[in-house]
Amino acid sequence: MSRRAAVVHLAALVTTACSQAEFIAANVPAAFGSYTRRANIAYGTDPRQHLDVYIPDKPGAGPRPVVVFWHGGRWMSGDKADYRFVGAALAETGYAAVVPNYRLYPRVKMAGFMDDAALAARWAAAHAGDIGADRNRLYLMGHSSGAHMAALLALDERYLAAAGQPAPRIAGVIGLSGAYDFLPLLEPYVQDIFGPPERYPESQPINFVRPDAPPMLLVHGSRDEVVWPKNSRNLATALSAQGVSATLKLYPRLAHADTVAALSAPARGRAPTLADIAAFVNAPRGQAALEVAAKGAA
C-alpha cells in the first residue's frame, strides 16, 4: 500500500464503522514505539470503565504533562484499543497519555458518558505521580464526540465537582474536529442522547464559556462535513471574548477524520496535528489571545 493510500485508508476507517482487523493494521506501527503501555486499568466498576496508559520510555527532565484522550464515534461507538496510535504519538512526544473507554448510547445518555469522562479525568489526576506526570499539567483531549466531551468536562464545572473533593486543575483542552455549538439537534438519536428538549442547551460546550476556562487548542479540517468547522470557530471566538487563550487551527482541504488520523505514523505528514499539540502543551501560559491559523480554510 502506498503512503497516500495508507493515509486515505486510515482516515476512512476512523470516520466509518470498520472491522477490527482494519484498526489493527492501522495500529501496527504504534506497537513498536518507545513507550510502555499499561492496558485495561479500571477507573470504575463498569466493564466499559477501563483505560490504557502510555508512558514514555525516555526519562524526562521532571514530571511530564498527562493527556487524557477520548475517542469519537457519535457517542455510540468506538473503543480505546482502536486508538493506540494516539497514545503512542503522545507518549513519543514526551507526555503520559491516558486513553479511556466509556459507556455508550443507547446504554447511557449524556449524564452517563459525561460522568465516565469525569471519573477518568479524576483518575488521571490522582495517579499522575504513579506514571511520572504532573497532576497540575492535566490536559483533556478528544476527537469528534470525544472532543465534545473533553470541552464540556472542562467548561461545565458540575461534572468534575464531587462532594468533599476539589476538582482537578485542567491545564488545557485539545479538541480535534469537535462538536461544541451544534443546535438545533436534528437526528432523532442525538435528540434522545441529549433530551428532553429543555436540556438541549446543557449539551453545548459554548454555553458554558467563562473567563476562568482553561486555554484551548481547537483543530478542524476546513472540509469537514460531519462536524462543521463553525463549531471550532464559534467556540474560539466565544473563549477569546471572555479573555481565554484560544488557538484555532483550520487545516485546508482536510476532512473530519484527517485531524486525528495525522497522529498515526503512516499519516504523520497529512497535517501538523502532533506539532500543533506539542506547541500548545509546551507553550508558556498567561496571555489571553485568539490565534488563528487558517491558510486556505473555507
DSSP string, 13-32: HHHS---HHHHHHHHTGGGG
Specify the pLDDT at position 26: 62
**β-bridge mates for residue 99, sequence order:** 52
Q: Are strands 50-56 and 96-100 parallel, antiparallel or unpaired?
A: antiparallel
Chain centroid offset of residue 284 CA: 21
Please state whether the predicted TM-score (pTM) of the whole model is above 0.85.
yes
Specify the pLDDT at position 89: 96
Q: What is the pLDDT of residues 62-101, one digit of tens each?
A: 899 999 999 999 999 999 999 999 999 999 999 999 999 9
**β-bridge mates for residue 66, sequence order:** 96, 138
Specify the pLDDT at position 12: 40
Specify the pLDDT at position 10: 42
| Structural domain spans, the chain | 3-293
Residues of the chain with pLDDT under 70: 1-26, 163-164, 285-298
Query: Which 3 state secondary structure label does DSSP give 257?
Result: coil
CB 71 within 8 A of CB 80: yes
Specify the pLDDT at position 24: 61
DSSP class of residue 62? S
Specify the pLDDT at position 135: 96
Fold of 3-293: Rossmann fold (3.40.50)
C-alpha cell at 105: 448510547
- Alpha-carbon gap, residue 285 to 230, rounded angstroms: 26
Specify the pLDDT at position 297: 40
Residues 6+ apart with CB under 8 A from 224: 177, 254, 255, 256
